[in-house]
Structure 1
Amino acid sequence: MDKRILIVGTYDTKSDELSYIADVIRAQGGVALSMDVSVLGQAPHPTDWSKHDVALAGGGTIAQAIASGDENFAMQLMARGAALLGSRLHAEGRFDGVLVLGGSMGTDLALDLCAALPVGVPKYIVSTVSFSPMIPPERLAADVQMILWAGGLYGLNPICKASLSQAAGAVLGAARAVEPPQSRRPMIGMTSFGKTVLRYMVTLKPELERRGYDLAVFHATGMGGRAFETLAEQGAFVAVMDFAPQEVSNHLFGSAISAGPNRMISAGRAGVPQMVAPGCYDLVDVVGWHPAPEAFRDAPSHAHNRLLSSFVLNADQRRQVAREIAAKLAQAAAPVTIFLPEHGCNEWDRAAGPLSDPEALAAFCDEMRAVTPPNARLISLDAHINDDAFAAAVLAQFDQWVASGVVPPGHR
């Protein structure tokens, strides 16, 4: 049997659009299954899982949802039901990929449903509000795909068919082609930026692989950190090397480039051992085409590209960052080691570099030593984060963790 795609939406108002998607999937040889998440109206045709099935899975009934007179309560009930029912159905092997269609209501539900499914399950959200700033990063599943539903507010038309047909083909193609993560080797999660600013992964990746581990490196520009946190919380990693926590600084100072308030918390709460270093802690990234924030108007900056600019933090701001990092790591339920490179934490802040501020760096290091929580070990390094000495110190600590059983042995 070809791949089975679960199509989710409000079949009382969007039956034509959802049926069109199903027809495209079937025309391509796939199997289309349906889940109705509507509340008030009736689907014109039976669905594989009715709105009553969804409400029951969410711990309520459609009658209760209607009686509440509160559309937000009703949709949260249906979102909870869709997530729990969808998770169970996938665990039972009932479908291979999911496509959810909707406006803001349907998207709210879709985010919960997709977050409930494991990485490797193709999950597509076709929405009139795709990529909107109203979608908080912490609600995005690590591998969710979003497609803008152009011209799709009401009824079928040639413009929206172009979006819907592509979405149908995309989810079916993804279900056929996906290679779910099934490595027999333990996985390490790492955060970083590109090699022009942080380089440790170039040394660490082959060394960790030689020791029998796989390494997944996440680009810490908001969405990457969010995916990193999600997978850490799900237990995907036997240890993390969180060496680019700039998203903590971004969130602390109100940048839109955020991974959410739980950045640098999920791994510790899940009992995952953490190695932490302050890569790019001294910078706050902002959207490059936005006006410069008032707090950073006179600060040195670096325009990375038209999308992204970075502003340099002063000494007091860096002390705030140190306290924020310490407070987050204090919540950890597993070993924590903090590496403190005293000569700088990104390529631009080396001595005589364009963003160098030795006094502010010293202020951060002093504050970090003062506030390191009792559950963490602090290792000060007479080195820059991009020096070989940093990578060597990380590997020495990692090998000690393996030898002592903190991290399970690798598979060679």
Structure 2
Amino acid sequence: MSRPTILLLGTCDTKLNELLYTRNQLESQANAILLDLGRASSTDPKIDIKQSDIIKQPSLNISKLARAEYIDRLIPPATDIVRELYEGQKIHGAIGIGGSCGTALATGVMRNALPVGFPKLMVSTMASGDVSPYVEETDITMMYSVVDIAGTNRILNRILCNAAAAICGMALAYFAAGSGYSSEKEGKKRVGVTMFGVTTPGVDKIREYLEQNHGYEVYVFHATGAGGKAMERLVNEGQLDAVLDLTTSEIADEICGGVLTAGPKRLEAAARAGIPQVISVGACDMINFGPSETIPAQYKERLIHHHNPTVTLVRTSPEECEQIATFIAQKLRASSTTDLIRIIFPTGGISMLDMPGLSFHDPEADSVLFSTLEKHLEGSGIPILRDDREINDPGFAVSIAKALVELIEKAN
């Protein structure tokens, strides 16, 4: 009976015994490939892919490089090798073990080479703290090693046994599914939709309409920075067929210094991929910060809404709305398929707080947002529609969903 194959990543110059112990645990249920990410090259015959196989530059001795430079030099060629293994369906799971440097190396390769949905697990001394630099917007599972990965002992061995069993279970399921999920719900269009708490009712109606009336598979992304990045990643990986970007509030945080930015590349993936996309400006009326005491001094006198004890919102100004609209226009103009883009404004309110009588209602700021985007996209071929309903109105939600369906049908 054939078995899945699991890639084992680590620094063999410092963690060889621990890696070999883990490999032994893996091989009770799967085949294993050991890839060396060490700073100093090892010639141990048990290593399947040696550091010298990765570097392929005899003149480059990375052991003499500073630690940070060595990590930066090794990740790209290691990524190429692992991506080739994945694309050739030669591996069905990946596990790494290491300290801070080993974790940076292994997770860097996993993020760059392996798509969302592929089993990935990292046993790390760093896993009890902030793991966002290692996980980013991917689905890497982190497991804390409890003790340092410095020699085998009963505690570490038990944890490595558990980790091996965990990745074997994931890989077995992935292998049984046919190395992925391509056959699952075959033929269904996959649509990404962005959501925030203040746009949730609208997104719920959009999802209901697309699923019940067209059988689409809808992926909702919480626009908290990582959510926008995750959607962009899935577009780049070819795992989304269309995007309904209702909630572009992460752009406000990027421009204004909020805590939920998705970075400067937001809106680039779908434009580059040329897939159908309908875009709105949901929740662009707010900048997100933590507890009220964390609000920067320049915003202290602004209109503020205390969403909960850990989230405080600041209303965007007309000047900031102009910058948000300019950002959006620049990204969309880069698309090679502007005929598959639509922009729809809910002029009755762009969030649950932006309606008459509510705390963030500011017709002047909204008007600047709408008119600036119209101005910068003039002549681009991208249609812009103003709808006098608010963003969570059920009729608006169905209308914007129908607009996306029309683009999907046009693309086909």
| Number of the residue aligned with 2:357 | 352
Match of 1:34?
34
Amino acid at match of 1:21: T
2:260 is equivalent to residue 254 of structure 1: no
| 1:143 equivalent in alignment to 2:139 | yes
Contact between 2:39 and 2:63, CA under 8 Å: does it hold in 1? Answer: no
Aligned partner of 1:263: which letter? R
Write out per-residue CA displacement over residues 114-169 of structure 1, whole angstroms, 9 at most, x where no aligned residue.
121123210123333448669559x8353222334443264445565565444333
Shift of 1:21: 2.5
Among all aligned residue pairs of Structure 1 and Structure 2, give the percentage whose two residues are the same amino acid: 27
Q: Which residue of 1 aligns with 2:387?
A: 381
2: CA distance between counterparts of 1:134 and 1:373? 43
In the alignment, residue 369 of structure 1 is paired with which amino acid?
E
Query: Which residue in the other structure is 2:302 paired with?
Result: 299
Q: Structure 2 length normalisation: TM-score? A: 0.86
Query: Which residue does 1:92 correspond to in 2?
Result: 88
Q: Which whole-Å CA distance do the structure 2 matches of 1:162 and 1:12 have between them? A: 23
SS at 2:61 equivalent: helix
Cα deviation, residue 245, structure 1: 1.1
Deviations 1:10-37 (A, max 9, x none): 011012332333344345x343331111
**SS of structure 1 residue aligned to 2:403:** helix
Among 263, 267, 271, the residue aligned to 2:270: 267
Which of 113, 123, 126 lines up with 2:123 in the alignment? 126
For 2:329 and 2:359, the matched residues in 1 are separated by 28
Question: Residues of 1 paired with 2:408 and 2:275: CA distance?
Answer: 13
Match of 1:174 in 2: 170
Q: Match for residue 200 of structure 1?
A: 202
Tell me which amino acid in the other structure corresponds to 2:147.
Answer: G
Contact 1:35-1:48 at 8 Å conserved across structures: yes
Answer yes or no: is the 8 Å Cα contact 1:36–1:43 preserved in 2: no
Mapped to 1, the partners of 2:317 and 2:42 lie a distance apart of 59
Q: For the structure 1 residues 346 and 84, does the alpha-carbon distance in structure 2 shift closer, same or farther, using more than 3 Å as the test?
A: same
Cα shift at 1:48 = 1.7
> Aligned residue for 1:365?
370
- The answer to whether the 8 Å contact 1:136/1:260 transfers is no
Q: Distance in 1 between matches of 2:51 and 2:263?
A: 32
Residues in 1 aligned to 2:292 and 2:41: alpha-carbon distance in whole angstroms: 44
Matched ranges for 1:3-402 at <5 A = 3-26=4-27, 29-42=29-42, 44=44, 46-56=46-56, 60-61=57-58, 63-66=59-62, 69-114=65-110, 115-130=112-127, 140=136, 142-152=138-148, 154-157=150-153, 160-161=156-157, 163-178=159-174, 180-182=180-182, 183-184=185-186, 185-194=188-197, 197-209=199-211, 210-288=213-291, 291-335=294-338, 336-372=341-377, 374-375=379-380, 376-402=382-408
298 and 167 in structure 1: CA distance in 2 versus 1, 3 angstrom threshold: farther
SS of 2:398 mapped into structure 1: helix
Q: Deviations over 1:37-62 (max 9, x none)?
A: 11315265521211122223xxx34x
**Matched residues in 1 for 2:147 and 2:292: separation?**
27
Judge conservation of contact 1:123–1:145 (CA < 8 Å) in 2: yes
Instruction: Answer whether contact 2:42 2:50 (CA < 8 A) is retained.
Output: no
Distance, in Å, in 2 between the alignment partners of 1:9 and 1:289 is: 43
Residue identity in the other structure for 2:357: A
The gaps in structure 1 that reach 5 residues or longer are: none
Alignment partners' CA distance in 1, 2:161 and 2:303: 47
Contact 1:275 1:337 in 2 (8 A): yes
**8 Å CA contact retained: 2:40, 2:63:** no
Q: Which is helix-richer, 1 or 2?
A: 2
Distance across 1 between alignment mates of 2:142 and 2:307: 26
Task: Classify 1:149/1:292 alpha carbon distance in 2 versus 1 (closer, same or farther; 3 Å).
Answer: farther
Structure-2 change in CA distance of 1:100 and 1:290 (3 Å)? farther
Paired residues of 2:234 and 2:240 also in contact (CA < 8 A): yes
Q: Which amino acid aligns with 2:122?
A: I
CA distance in structure 1 between the partners assigned to 2:105 and 2:293 by the alignment: 30
Say which is worse superposed, 35-44 or 326-335, in terms of deviation: 35-44
Q: Which amino acid aligns with 1:48?
A: D
Residue 227 of structure 1 and its aligned partner are, at CA, apart by: 0.8
Per-residue deviation, residues 216-250 of structure 1 (Å, max 9, x unmatched) = 11111111111101111222222211111111111
CA distance in 2 between partners of 1:103 and 1:284 (Å): 36
- Does the 8 Å contact 1:12/1:43 carry over to 2? no
Cα separation, 2, equivalents of 1:74 and 1:103: 15
Distance 1:4-1:262 versus aligned 2 partners, 3 A rule? same
Q: Return the alpha-carbon distance in structure 2 between the equivalents of residues 325 and 207 of structure 1.
A: 27
Counterpart amino acid of residue 343 in structure 2: I
CA-CA distance at 1:274 after TM superposition: 1.8
CA-atom RMSD, angstroms?
Answer: 2.8
User: Any conservation in 2 of the 1:11–1:43 contact (CA below 8 Å)?
Assistant: no
